Structures are given as C-alpha cells and as structure tokens.
Amino acid sequence: MEYLRIPGTDLEVSRIALGTWAMGGWMWGGTDEQQAIATIHAALDKGVNLIDTAPVYGFGVSEQIVGKALAQKKCRDRVFISTKTGLDWKDGQVFRNCSPDFIKRNFADSLKNLQTDHVDLLFVHWPDPLEPFEETARVLHQFLKAGQIRAVGVSNYSPEQIQAFQRGGPVHVVQPPYNLFEREIEADLMPFSKKNHLALMTYGALCRGLLSGQVTAAREYQGDDLRKIDPKFKEPRLSEYLAAVKLLDQFAWQRFDRRVLHLGVRWVLDHGAEIALWGGRRPDQMEPLPEIFGWRLDQPALHAIDQILQETIKEPVGPEFMAPPARAD
Ligand SMILES: NC(=O)c1ccc[n+]([C@@H]2O[C@H](COP(=O)([O-])OP(=O)(O)OC[C@H]3O[C@@H](n4cnc5c(N)ncnc54)[C@H](OP(=O)(O)O)[C@@H]3O)[C@@H](O)[C@H]2O)c1
C-alpha cells in the first residue's frame, strides 16, 4: 500500500480508499450486511485505512455498516472515516440540500450511525445552487474548529464553485469522478487542484465495475441497480467500452503481468489523483488490492493506453446521469 499526508492536515491516508456506496444497497440492487462488514475488514487487512461513505448511501445503512465494522474490529482510532452531507431525501427521492439546519442534523445523524464523536473528512456531496457556497463553508468550518471533523472536502464542485466556497472556509480535498473512461477533470479541476494544493480523492476507479474485466454484455442487474440507467452499460456504447476493456486487459497482461482491473486503478494513481476510491461489497473483490502496488505506468504505457481508448471509444459519455436534482422550492 502507498500512503500520503493530505496537505494542510495531519491525515496520513492510504492511496486507495474503500467506497461503501454499494454496501448501502440503494441504487445497487440491495445490501448484505455480513458480506459488507467482511469486505471492510478485508480492505483494512490489506492496508486500506480510509473508508468513504455517505448518509444517503442506503439512507443511513452504509454508515451504520461502517460503524459496526470498525466497532467489531475495535479499530476506530486506526481508521480514517470520510462521510458527506448535503443530500436530503423524501419518500426515496434524493435532492440537494445545503441549508445550515439540514447539514447540522444530517451530520449529527452521521456521528450516531458511525458510532463516533468525529469524522476525519467531511465532504459536501453535491453543490446546492439554492444556498450560497460560502455559507455552507462556514458551517463546515465550525465543525472543523470544534474538532468534530479533521478536514473539509467538496465533491462534484467546479473550480469556480470551489473558489466561492473558499471565501467561507478552508477546503483540503476534492472528490470528483475519474477513471480511464471518465476524464473530464483533466481540463479544469485537476490543474486547479494541483495549483491550490488540494488533494484529489477521485471516485469510480472501476467505472462502476466496467473496468473490473468481469462485466459482460449478458450480465443482468437487479432491482434499482444504477447500471440499468447508465448509458455506458447500454448499446451501442457497451460494445465499445467492452472492446476497450478487452484490449486494455491484453496490454496489461503483456506489458505488466497484470489485468485490466490493476491497470485501471494504477492509471488513476499515476495520472494525477492522490487517492483512488474503489467500491466493493464482497471480500473477494478486495483480493486484487496488493497487486496495484510495486509497479508504475511509464510514459510509453500511458501513451499506448490513450491510443487504445481513442481507437475503441467513438462515442464517449460521462457520468452526468448520476447528478441528483436541486431542491424543489
Ligand atoms: N461523491 C460522489 O458523488 C460519489 C459518486 C460515486 C461514488 N462515490 C464513492 O466512490 C466509491 C467508488 O465508486 P463506485 O462504487 O461508484 O465505483 P467503482 O469503484 O468504479 O466500482 C465499484 C463496483 O465495481 C465492482 N467491483 C469492485 N471490485 C471488483 C472486483 N475485484 N472484481 C469485479 N468487480 C468488482 C463492484 O460491483 P458489483 O459488486 O456489482 O459487481 C463494485 O460495487 C463509492 O462506493 C463511493 O464511496 C462518490
């Protein structure tokens, strides 16, 4: 495992963080608590010390699972928890809400769910266009000053939105999507983060499983699984993405004795992100973790990967389908 310190904080975190959205069940076709807890323990045993969750993941379920997993292993003091605020829900419908009252209630619920008196990293999940960003920053800054959080993050914010937020308080980490198939941040957020010493903790390293090498055109998704509405998982695009995965897998094997999953996560780490979020919900999914380390992608490899992507994906599409709506007035 590789570790780094988040600038402006005393958090020394693993460069792979475990994502627990799928463990909450919501938008992933259901949850299995025992498997989820075993997955968290498997990741910790392999050197991961940063776990990412959110109140909206299963409407409290993911946070509760993280709280139970750490309590069972008695390791809260050795693990960094990252959670979020600013997404509200009613009758199963999720919407943005950064009103100070909601944030305070939502964060109090997170502490209870997680069985802790502080979280290490608190993100605003999505920018709320109906609340001044500066005001939201002030609320999180209060939590920071009170020792209830140790670092502030924003997720899915543009550079301009981050600058507005910074007028009300500090930001240490940003959490945008980033993987071989979703590279939008290279145009603006990535250079902005480098220039301003903000750590990039990017989500979706496996592009919702597409880069695991295990997805086939025949795979079916259960219940409310978001891949039913993900444009990358629908034809004609699915065939293009699967063709890319096949060539990337061959390249990883020939050049590095690794598979496409290792290549996909390594690429995120070697291409500008400080921390890559990897989501899982079964302990066996953590088995490839050690093989992400001990090698690097050099310039010729990065170039060859770009060529594969250019040749195979003619109609790229981003992760915009996941954006939740603003509050109805
Ligand atoms: N801030 C935000 O707005 C935001 C948005 C999205 C995600 N996130 C965070 O980032 C985390 C990661 O993102 P993500 O979960 O969307 O995507 P991801 O890491 O790209 O993909 C996760 C999915 O890939 C599959 N997978 C994982 N390991 C595997 C393995 N070894 N072999 C085969 N398949 C494997 C699993 O799906 P199956 O179990 O179905 O096979 C898993 O649920 C989330 O859990 C969450 O913490 C944040």
| DSSP-assigned letters across all residues of 227-276 | GGT-GGGSTTHHHHHHHHHHHHHHHHHHHHS--HHHHHHHHHHHTT-SEE
Q: What is the whole-number distance in angstroms between the Cα of residue 176 and the centre of ligand 1?
A: 14
Decide: 258 in ligand 1 pocket, CB within 6 A. Answer: no
Looking at every residue in the chain, the average pLDDT score rounds to: 96
- Percent of the chain whose pLDDT exceeds 90: 95
Residue of 180, 189, 206, 261 to mutate, ligand 1, most atoms within 8 A of C-beta = 206
What pLDDT does residue 34 have?
A: 97
Give dist(CA 121, CA 242) in Å, integer.
Answer: 35
Mean pLDDT throughout 97-105?
A: 98
Could you read off the pLDDT of 177-195 as tens digits, one per residue? 999 999 999 999 999 999 9
Question: Residue 111 above 70 pLDDT?
Answer: yes
Mean pLDDT throughout 222-234?
A: 92
Question: Residue 173 above 80 pLDDT?
Answer: yes
Q: Pick the residue whose CA is nearest to atom 12 on ligand 1.
A: 279
What pLDDT does residue 74 have?
A: 97
- Whether 57 is catalytic: yes
Q: Pick the residue whose CA is nearest to atom 37 on ligand 1.
A: 209
Could you read off the pLDDT of 258-282 as tens digits, one per residue? 999 999 999 999 999 999 999 999 9
CA dihedral (29, 30, 34, 40) in degrees, to 10, reads 60
Specify the residue for token string 């600058």. Answer: 163
Mean pLDDT throughout 47-56?
A: 98
Confidence of residue 30 (pLDDT cuts 50, 70, 90): confident
Decide: 31 in ligand 1 pocket, CB within 6 A. Answer: no
Mean pLDDT throughout 291-301?
A: 97
Q: What is the whole-number distance in angstroms between the Cα of residue 212 and the centre of ligand 1?
A: 10
Q: Pick the residue whose CA is nearest to atom 46 on ligand 1.
A: 19
**pTM across the whole model:** 0.97
Decide: 324 in ligand 1 pocket, CB within 6 A. Answer: no
Mean pLDDT throughout 238-251?
A: 97
Mean pLDDT throughout 25-44?
A: 94
Question: Residue 328 above 90 pLDDT?
Answer: no
What pLDDT does residue 23 have?
A: 97
Question: Residue 73 above 80 pLDDT?
Answer: yes
Q: Which of 3, 57, 203, 221 is catalytic?
A: 57
Q: What is the whole-number distance in angstroms between the Cα of residue 206 and the centre of ligand 1?
A: 6
Decide: 202 in ligand 1 pocket, CB within 6 A. Answer: no
- Percent of the chain whose pLDDT exceeds 70: 100
What pLDDT does residue 329 have?
A: 63
Mean pLDDT throughout 122-147?
A: 98
Tell me which of 245 and 91 has the higher pLDDT.
245
Coil/strand/helix, residue 89: strand
Mean pLDDT throughout 233-249?
A: 96
Question: Ligand 1, closest atom to CA 278?
Answer: 19
Amino acid at 163: Q
Give dist(CA 190, CA 159) in Å, integer.
Answer: 9
Residue of 278, 291, 320, 321 to mutate, ligand 1, most atoms within 8 A of C-beta = 278
What pLDDT does residue 100 have?
A: 98
Decide: 127 in ligand 1 pocket, CB within 6 A. Answer: no
Which residues, listed in sequence order, are joined to residue 94 by a DSSP beta bridge? 89
